Copies of this chain bind each other. A is one copy, B any other.
Amino acid sequence: MTPERVLQYQAKGAGFTLSYATELVSDEILEFLFGLAKEREIVKWMHRMQAGEVVNLSENRAALHTAMRLKKGAKHLSTAALQAAELAWGQLDALSDFLPTVSGYTDIVQVGIGGSSLGPEAIYHALKAYAIPGRKAHFIANIDPDQTAAVLQSVNLAKTLFVIVSKSGSTLETVTSEAIIRSALIKAGLDPTLHLIGVTGKGSPMDEKTRYRALFYIWDFVGGRFSVTSMVGAVVLAFTLGIETFFHFLDGAYAMDGVALKDSLQDNLPLLGALIGVWNRSFLGLDTVAVVPYAEALARFPAHLQQLDMESNGKGSDRQDSKVTYPTGPILFGEPGTSCQHSFFQLIHQGTTPVPLELIGFTTSQRGYDLKVNGTTSQQKLVGNMLAQSLALALGKPEGGFPGNRPSQLLIGQRCDAHTLGALLAYYEHKVAFQGFFWNINSFDQPGVELGKHLATRMIGALAGSQVAPLEEAFARLLGSASSTR
């Protein structure tokens, strides 16, 4: 590790600097990885994806989330991309017209789960420092009745909107929550059709204009975990932050979409991040990744990335539907720094299983509220800690039981604002897609959730009294006996 290496091993794009001097890579390794990437045509696949070709082979669909932020008048990659963008613009225009009609409302509750919740929640949390005064968002995702109760009891229902988000219009959790919310509104003497907004696919069971104050549409070419920039995120974010802020967010994502199309490794940040990740996972055999934002605003961002990465690339079969014989996507987790330095960083420094780190930081704070204590501001202390951890992991202190050579990287932006967050969101979307292309897996389907859903239906039947099979009955008895222990 030398100063020269620090200054050489960095790349810039869409407002971010990716510093990878503290990764376990050399020029030779990067060249080797880039060679493999070319063989596997992964940048070409990115072009195909953004052009709307069928990249989700198992479901015979495009993955056109990039069309959701294509700028009007900008160069487009294909007629398919333009047509998808026109659909998105139509929805954004409708949203722009709609928002002034609900200016009297103060709160908005996003009702949706998984891809209909984690991304919008992470971005709302990241940007709520800039929210329109008096406006607030809440999230009901879980079927847990206590979550629904807590949210409903914390708002003034008369001034609250509910955005019900389900592409299929039949998600168990979301359909159930909608029923409970309608019943609560009616009990409060309110008309649900004035408070409920639907976001769903055309023709779904939810696609009934009379049930909602407004209906917005999403399409099967935008997957749930890639849908933050579609109407899935647009309604809640534009209501709370203002539509102009939402447009800045789209602009940031659009800027990173362009970066992901670049042919040169040094200019293509998501590609560089993806290949370093492949090195850690496929060559060094490291099974996990910790994403540590040095910004409390990004506290929920790792949960979004957990879905984005683990649902996309946690696959057991390749694109030809053969069982894979090599490791696919890693296990991702994370909490904000510096807090987690006082928590799980013990294991990061000295545990027997090395964990590659992705540290995210910003040079400037959001709110500008700071104080010099002992010569430095808190923001300086915050980023100083981030840089120091990266260095400490690389250098170690072998005589003190710190092995060193533990890989990390720094992703540094100027300020955690809407444009920066759009770029960060798209950075990870494309990093994940590049890794899926590299591993020859389909990052855009999710067969792994179906078996659980099927068994859940049977189990819920058993709990309702209509026992269906001895195993379910045994579990139901286990639950019954647990109720009477204390």
Complex Cα–Cα for A361 and B400 (A): 42
Known: A311-B346, A347-B448. A12 touches B485 (CB 8 A): yes
A414 on interface, CB distance cutoff 8 Å: yes
B-chain residues with CB within 8 Å of residue A413 when the two chains form the complex: 482
How many chain A residues sit at the interface, stated as a range, is: 35 or more
Contact A403 B373 (CB under 8 A): no
**Which B residues touch A471, using CB under 8 A?**
1-3, 6, 391
User: What is the oligomeric copy number?
Assistant: 2
Q: Could you tell me if B475 and A391 are in contact, using CB atoms closer than 8 angstroms?
A: yes
A264 to B444, CA, bound (A): 49
Taking CB as reference atom, which chain B residue is nearest A321? B401
**B-contacting 9-mer, from A100-108, A214-222, A330-338:** A330-338
| Seed contacts A144-B382, A341-B452, A349-B452; 14 additional CB < 8 Å A-B pairs | A115-B342, A143-B378, A145-B371, A148-B369, A173-B381, A303-B335, A306-B333, A306-B340, A311-B343, A314-B346, A316-B401, A331-B351, A331-B353, A396-B451
A28 to B375, CA, bound (A): 62
Q: Which residue of B lies closest to A304 (CB)?
A: B343
The 8 tightest CB contacts between A and B, nearest first, are A314-B347, A114-B342, A333-B333, A314-B351, A307-B343, A3-B474, A349-B448, A149-B369
Residues of B within 8 Å of A179, CB to CB, are 371, 373
Nearest chain-B residue to A8 (Cβ)? B474
Given contacts A328-B352, A391-B455, contact A343 B303 (CB under 8 A): yes
Q: Which of B310, B375, B447 contacts A343 (CB 8 A)?
A: B310
Could you list 23 A-B pairs, sorted by A, with CB under 8 Å? Answer: A1-B471, A7-B474, A7-B477, A19-B478, A114-B339, A114-B342, A143-B378, A144-B336, A144-B338, A145-B378, A146-B295, A148-B369, A173-B338, A306-B340, A310-B347, A311-B347, A314-B350, A326-B352, A331-B331, A346-B447, A384-B460, A391-B475, A392-B452
What separation, in Å, do the CA atoms of A390 and B17 have in the docked complex?
A: 42
A385: chain B residues within 8 A (beta carbon): 143, 452, 456, 459-460
Question: Which residues in B have their C-beta under 8 angstroms from that of A335?
Answer: 303, 306
Interface bits A391-426 vs B (CB < 8 Å: 1, else 0): 110001100111100000010111010010000000
Is there contact, CB below 8 Å, between B146 and A381? no
CB-nearest residue of chain B to A455 = B388
**Cα–Cα, bound, A470→B4 (Å):** 9
Q: Is A59 an interface residue (CB 8 A)?
A: no
**Chain B residue at smallest Cβ distance from A333:** B333
Contact with B along A434-476 (1 / 0, CB 8 A): 0000000000001111011001101110111000001111111
Q: Does A89 contact B (CB under 8 A)?
A: no
Task: Enumerate chain B residues within 8 angstroms of A347, measured Cβ to Cβ.
Answer: 310-311, 313-314, 329, 331, 448
Does the CB pair A463–B338 fall under 8 Å? no
Chain B: CB-nearest residue to A483: B363
A267 CB-CB contact with B under 8 Å: no
- A391 nearest CB neighbor, chain B only: B455
User: A351 CA to B309 CA in the complex, in Å?
Assistant: 11
Q: Is A387 on the interface with B (CB-CB < 8 A)?
A: yes
A339-B7 in contact given A129-B146, A401-B323, A414-B486 (Cβ < 8 Å): no
| CB closest chain-B residue, reference A486 | B15
What are the residues of chain B within 8 A of A306 when measuring CB–CB? 333, 335, 340, 343-344
- Decide if A176 is an interface residue (CB 8 Å cutoff): yes
A10: chain B residues at CB < 8 Å are 478, 481
The residue that A143 contacts in the complex, of B7, B307, B364, B381, with Cβ under 8 A, is B381
Q: Which residues of B contact A460 (CB under 8 A)?
A: 376, 380-381, 384-385, 388
Say whether A16 faces chain B, with CB atoms less than 8 Å apart. yes
CA distance A225 to B452 in the complex (A): 35
Is A183 an interface residue, CB under 8 A from the partner?
Answer: yes
Q: Does A75 belong to the interface (CB within 8 Å)?
A: no
* A459–B388 touching, CB < 8 Å: yes
Query: CB-CB < 8 A to A83: which residues of B?
Result: none
Q: Which of A335, A369, A416, A474 has the most CB of B within 10 A?
A: A474
Contacts A339-B113, A481-B17 known; A297 to B378 CB distance under 8 Å? no
A61 to chain B, nearest CB (A): 17
Measured CB to CB, the closest approach of chain B to A19, in angstroms, equals 5
Instruction: Please indicate the chain B residues that have their CB under 8 angstroms from the CB of A380 in the complex.
Output: 460, 463-464
A476 to B471, CA, bound (A): 60
Check B352 against A327 for contact (C-beta < 8 Å).
yes
